[in-house]
Amino acid sequence: MLGEVHSLVNEFPQHKETIVELNANDETFASDHSNYNSLDKEIRILELNGSPVDDSTMNLLKHRRSELKDSLYARLVKAAK
């Protein structure tokens, strides 16, 4: 769905406590999480404004978001163990 929020807490509510803990105690995670949120916001704004960029640009942005999400999720799972 266009304009849908893909925040980590929204995507992985079962890891909310771990997300909060890693944001507070792991600078790399916090930085990547911030970048993920910024990228997600940029994509959402573009979608809500009728995608005023070409398809390849939008696909690249979504691919970057996906890569960050995968990396962040792997760290969440590792930290939750």
The model's pLDDT over 24-77, given as tens digits with 9 standing for 90+, comes to 999 999 999 999 999 999 999 998 888 788 999 999 999 999 999 999 999 999
CB 37 within 8 A of CB 19: no
Sequence-separated (6 or more) residues with CB below 8 Å from residue 16 = 9
The pTM for the full model equals 0.88
* Mean pLDDT calculated for residue range 10-21: 95
The span from the CA of 27 to the CA of 9, in Å, is: 18
Exposure string for 47-76, b = 16+ CB within 10 A, e = fewer: eeeeeeeeeeeeeebeeebeebbeebeebb
